[in-house]
Amino acid sequence: MSGFWAMGDYGAYVWPAYGISAAGLLVAAVLVLHAHARAKAALARLGAKP
Amino acid sequence: MLRYANPARFMTLSGTLVPWLGGFALVALAAGVYLGFAAPPDYQQGDTVRVMFIHVPAAWTAMMAYGLMALASLIGLVQRHPLADVAAKSAAPLGALFTALGLITGSLWGRPMWGTWWVWDGRLTSFLLLLFLYLGYIALWNAIEDETRAARAAAILALVGAVNLPIIEFSVDWWTTLHQGESILRKGGPLIAAVYLWPLGLMALGYSLLFFTLWLLRIRTEIMTRRARSLMLAGEA
Amino acid sequence: MNPFFSLLLRDIQLAARAGGSAMLALAFFAAVATLVPLGVGADLRLLARIAGGVLWVAAMLAALLALDRLFQADFEDGSLDVIALGPSSLEQTSFAKIAAHWLTTGLPLTILSPLLAVLFGLPAQAIGALFISLLVGTPAVSAIGAIGAGLTLSIRRGGLILPLIVLPLLSPAVIFGAGTVLSALDGLRNGALPLLTAFSFAACVLSPFATAAAVRLNLGS
């Protein structure tokens, strides 16, 4: 199992690469979904359908 | 296709599409990551080959996003359709994100091989310039106050960039042969073994689907925001 | 007089006056060429290797310095509207402005370059290569820069966004321009100059259309 984390001594590169990619995509998704929900709510408050 | 350019139709269609696209994206990404780590280490690159599965898809998606942005810009300029302008504007930050991810993962892929955090590899250098093209595009949108003017100016910039992009890539490629010989970040070698093709393909699919999901959501958000704004203005009248 | 030439001459006169963009570009170019060796060290072999790149980048940045004012000055005082309504098409006007810009920045920079190349210890044939590459390549800088100037002419501090837009588009010019110098230094033919010529030619031919479109949209709304 430690071999998995070590990634053949390249762990310091592989894991940050995956980590940063996952973080970046996750943050983007959250921001986009949040903005979408907010716009939808704003329209609903004005009594209109999206 | 142009039937869906009507905002109401677009909202209905995208509303149905988004959950499916998002769902498929997640499945593809999960499968891709699993297969990516299940695959054996590469003969030459060892375990760093796994970075390829997130570097290459990010890069491809970044390029695809620019192509879509340029296409939307062209349609916006020629047809004067506001939906096209919104589509182009919405694609840019996503494209910039994927480019940045491509750069970071590319750097982390190259570092074990070359010992430095940045390598002037042809592909990475082209990506860096692509990132600047995206940032310039976004900055131009933000700098011009009038929405229509901003849309048209940004569209011209996107098209000029699109024409120039192959030239930039060619010149950077040419430049690497001048200074370095072979590009180091070859896509996993001259022949990609099947065991790597599957995770690569799945990740590429997943990244693209994720882009489309987020893109459609951003366009929807912009349409809804504009409607809310005009409703508020009408309410005040 | 032909409207094209009258516009050309007027712009040249404006740029060439003391304190105008021509002087600014030359001063900037000379400053960079002097400061880089101070920053990098006096090793002439190293300086000769980097000369092509450094001088090309310096020349390009110098040429871009006053670019944001290319259309802005006329836009602000309303003369751009007058010119747009005049006998010349916006494409012709753009071409005249690009030509005036090159004649007052790119060309003087090219002429000054051999002197600065000496500071970098470049041998004679490399100096010649630098001169030719700048002569051929600086029109592209003016041409592509003009597109950026047209796009940003209505922006208050457009000068800040202009380099961001224009520099990535000009990277082939830097690559091929510096490559020409390198080819002379190493005594190898690498095709840089023909590529630079093609790029510059295409830029000069296509740019007036893009620039005119950019100016038109800013005048239109």
* Domain coordinates in residue numbering, chain B: 17-236
Picking from A17, A25, A48, the nearest residue to B227 by CB comes out as: A48
- CA dihedral angle for residue C205, residue B92, residue A20, residue B171, rounded to 10 degrees: -10
Chain A contacts of B104, Cβ < 8 Å?
Answer: 17, 20-21
What string of DSSP letters covers B102-124? HHHHHHHHHHHHHSSS----HHH
Q: Closest Cα to residue A43, out of B234, B158, B229?
A: B229
Q: Among partner residues B130, B133, B175, which is closest to C175 by beta-carbon distance?
A: B175
Q: How far is C151 from chain B (nearest CA, A)?
A: 6
The structure tokens listed for B22 are 């998002």
Average per-residue pLDDT in chain B?
88
Residue of B nearest to C215 (CA): B153
Tell me the pLDDT tens digit for each residue of C85-127: 888 888 999 999 999 999 999 999 999 999 999 999 999 999 9
Touching C: which chains, 3+ CB pairs < 8 A? B
Per-residue confidence band for B188, with pLDDT thresholds at 50, 70 and 90: very low
Do the Cβ atoms of B175 and C179 come within 8 Å? yes
- C198-220 tens-digit pLDDT: 999 999 999 999 999 999 998 87
pLDDT at B191: 57
CA distance B202 to chain A (A): 15
Please provide the distance, in angstroms rounded to a whole number, between the alpha carbons at the two ends of chain C.
31
Counting the structural domains of chain A, the total is 1
Q: What is the ipTM of this complex?
A: 0.88
pLDDT digits (tens, 9 = 90+) for C23-81: 889 999 999 999 999 999 888 899 999 999 999 999 999 999 888 888 888 888 888 88
Residue A41 one-letter amino acid: A
pTM of the complete model: 0.89
Q: Is residue A30 part of a domain?
A: yes
Any idea what DSSP says for residue C80?
H
Q: What is the pLDDT at residue C122?
A: 93
d(Cα B85, Cα B97) in Å, to the nearest integer? 20
Give the number of other Cβ atoms within 10 Å of residue B34's Cβ: 12
Is pLDDT above 50 for B195?
A: yes
Q: Which chains reach chain A with 3 or more Cβ–Cβ distances below 8 angstroms?
A: B
In angstroms, the CA C166 to CA C168 distance is 6
Q: Residue A43: which domain range?
A: 21-50
User: Which structure tokens are listed for B14?
Assistant: 């995208």
CA dist C84 → C3, C79, C100, C120, C212 (Å): 12, 8, 17, 45, 10
Tell me, what DSSP letter sits at residue B42? B
Show the tokens assigned to C56.
Answer: 């090309």
pLDDT digits (tens, 9 = 90+) for A1-50: 666 777 667 778 888 999 999 999 999 999 999 999 999 999 898 876 65
Q: Are C147 and C210 in contact (CB under 8 A)?
A: yes
Query: Min CA distance, B125 vs chain A (Å)?
Result: 18
Residue A48's pLDDT is what? 67
pLDDT score for C184: 92
Q: Smallest Cα–Cα separation from C110: which of C134, C145, C142, C140? A: C134
A5 within some domain: no
Q: What is the pLDDT of residue B182?
A: 47
- Measured distance CA(B121)–CA(B172) in Å, rounded: 9
Q: How far does C168 lie from chain B, in Å, by closest CA?
A: 6
Count of domains for chain C: 1
- Out of B58, B108, B225, the one facing A16 most closely (by C-beta) is B108
